[in-house]
Amino acid sequence: MTSRSLHVAVELDATADSLSPRALAETVARAETAGFTFVTFPDSPVPPRGGSRLEATTRAAYVSTLTDRLGLAPTANVTTAEPFHLAAQLASLDHASHGRAAWVVAADGSAETLATIGGSRLDPAALHRETADVVEVVRRLWDSWDDDAVVKDTATGRYLDPDKVHHVDFTGARFSVKGPLITPRPPQGRPVVVAADDLAEAARPDVVLVGGTGLDDVRTRAARARAAGAPLVFAELEVLLGGSAPDGPWPRGDRLRYTGSAAGLAELLGWLATGVDGVHLRPGVPGTGLPVLIDEVLPALRGEGLLLPPEPGATLRSSLGLRRPESLFA
């Protein structure tokens, strides 16, 4: 990474005012215009504080036909998913958005989460294996149709070339999947995989999200992620802008945290641009933090030539400078 510019992603929470379809559509349209590279949709099978949240892939799909350059990154948890459905859902989001889908991998092995599917808690070793297995089979399923599998050859009457649609024959620790996927290969080949650095070894993501207790720690962890083969590294950054107070407790996570003015945040991001490829912002107050980011912080970055906004019609991979992967079966 040589340029002093960066991709900015932002988390859209589903609570409070963004819960209505219209509010969701408007928020996402403004985020796209502002120049965010992608938006993330947090999710979990268990309720958030406050109780209400829509399922993330469904939310992302809803805005797919209303946008044309913004990456759409729903969170999906590996331990409660059918890997086959998950692969089809994310592939379908990629088709619906003409190549702008990503997947934020979540791996929750808690008893409460597993209970939603009638399962029980996973220990750390089992959780690691489950994460690796689900991400691996999802990738194989995305690859299970060659890009040119649909031939529409009227001479032979063949719609498909059967040699170009593959069984994946995957056997993991807790499940197996025969394949192929029901959905043709997505426009990006594979949607972009995003995961926190503690999941990176299992998930081998395209974008690693690093936390850290301070700027030096973020640099160290970014360097470590890069050394481990991460194509892109984003810093996680919780923000509370313009003297607003968090709406309730704001528990400290393993992430950078910024509290202060929009100008100060733009300055911090400029500094981060020398060490990471992008940042993933999490507004501490979803309803008010995002407008300040859109109205003040991103224009400031643009003014400095620091922002890498996506071009209309671009796939998320091309916005991020990631190559389109060859199929494992090609």
Partner 1 sequence: MSARLHLGVFYPGVGPQFLWDDPSNAPHTEIDTAVAVARTLERGLFDAFFLGEGLRVRENRGRVHALDIAGRPDAITQLSALAAATSRIGLVATQNTTYNFPADLARRLASLDFLSGGRAGWNIVTTDNAWTGANFRRGGRFPHERRYERAEQFVEAALALWSGTAEVARHTDLVGLRATPTVPPSPQGRPVLFQAGDSDGGRELAAKYADVVFSANTAYDQALAYAEDLRARLARYGRPAGAVRILPGATVVLGDTPADAAERAEDVRRRQITPQRALAFLEQYWGRDLSDHDPHGPLPAVEPVEGELGPSRGTISIEDRTGKLDRIRRWRELAEAKKLSIHQLVLEVQPRQHGFVGTPGRVADEWAHYVRTRAADGFVISPHLLPATLDEIVDRLVPELQDRGVYRTGYEGTTLREHLGLT
Please, what is the minimum distance in Å from the beta carbon of residue 303 to partner 1?
A: 32
Please, what is the minimum distance in Å from the beta carbon of residue 246 to partner 1?
A: 21
Please, what is the minimum distance in Å from the beta carbon of residue 310 to partner 1?
A: 19
Please, what is the minimum distance in Å from the beta carbon of residue 271 to partner 1?
A: 38
List contacts with partner 1 (CB under 8 A): 19, 21, 24-25, 45-48, 51-55, 57-59, 61-66, 80-85, 88-89, 91-93, 95-98, 115-118, 145, 150, 152, 154, 156-162, 165, 174-184
* 81 or 328: CB nearest partner 1: 81
Please, what is the minimum distance in Å from the beta carbon of residue 162 to partner 1?
A: 4
* 31 or 279: CB nearest partner 1: 31
* 47 or 249: CB nearest partner 1: 47
- In our burial notation (b when 16+ CB lie closer than 10 A, e otherwise), range 163-181 reads ebbbebebeeeeeebebbb
* 185 or 255: CB nearest partner 1: 185
* 14 or 292: CB nearest partner 1: 14
